[in-house]
Structure 1
């Protein structure tokens, strides 16, 4: 999944951003030895993701902090539920509050919307996957949240797999030419995906022996025709303007994968508050 050092780097950078020269409010009001107890409370209903990351925020600020989870990542919580309790130095609780909540709220929002998409098509073969439309610096966490919500991950980065998009096709002089160029330079273990917008492009991708064919912004009728033409010769991915209202019809065309950029690029944060008691 990811290492503790990866998480620490994200948290440390976030804390530096939030208090580059300390917290002038907390440091001048709260005694350095003061201790407090706090609750994290769900103000929405949905799927929680990122509790261990939130815990790590406070551990980096107070090595003796006690963070007790009242639920686990992937569990559904209701508005008003206490999702965690924290006991430690008051300064640490106050300094870590916003960073911990920002991460927890965003990841829980992603997990919640992913669960909604996944549940819509759980009776069909298609899988919901994410995209690279993520928050800079938070990709590993956001893709983790997608998995927590019941989705799966597309490639993590540009180094992971070949995806020949419209601009590559134009620059190379065609789909088949682009496939030939890349296939001669990559290991045989790496799959090649091609983005298509027309039936002619689908036929060219098949002729070039693409492993995965993306149907980009196609209408339902064209998508059905493309799936029939591909007929198992490649994995079929649907992409473009997928919503909760359209995903079932898209899945019913017979595609294998449905990529949804909105899982990460425009998700609404899951509302959580932290209250010192």
Structure 2
């Protein structure tokens, strides 16, 4: 089961936003999308959701072409959830309960079904039932973000697109939100498409990474392979390595030896490099 683009092109006012993009999104993975501003990331995820009605090329979901309307335009795909950047700006109901219930009401769910669904989603996002009667503006920034994301999760999307979901959050709130998303993705066996410019977050949470540059797909990589073995590609298109990987590369240069690590994640790198750093008398922790 997969989402597949074949030779997809998108033009905006005679400017190529996506150029001949082909890729496959397998279900059950956390897939990050990276690239410089204007690289094509936002256009790519909007195509996946069906928010761009006219594209050149083919878009298949589970080996079937996506549905089109009478004019041949792509339809918005309901099984894909989309959390825009600063999603709390989209909160519009007078209470948190009404905000969470809105989508299910539109689908015809009963009050009991809605209440049960809300009771299940709140603990997944670290929220208590005490927030339900509150107006969204009474919540903290991190709570608003989680309510906004919960309102999308309520529809039980097969694939969830999150566009810079941690923008503007403090480090503690950012980490808490990403851990909650990862837990949901793993427990529910769902797919997350994560658009981000924070390479440390990409390295920590991703199974795969899709890289864009000037509208072109530069590749779809295993996360460890990209950051540990393809640093020249990232340098070429002006993207930084995650800080732990930068530290690893520095130590390899200083020691003159290749340091084998289990992954590009911070803890795995630290466990390998600390003995070497200690032996040089440079690290005391």
Q: TM-score surpassing 0.5?
A: no
Larger Rg: 1
Q: Give the TM-score normalised by the residue count of structure 2.
A: 0.31
Q: Give the TM-score normalised by the residue count of structure 1.
A: 0.32
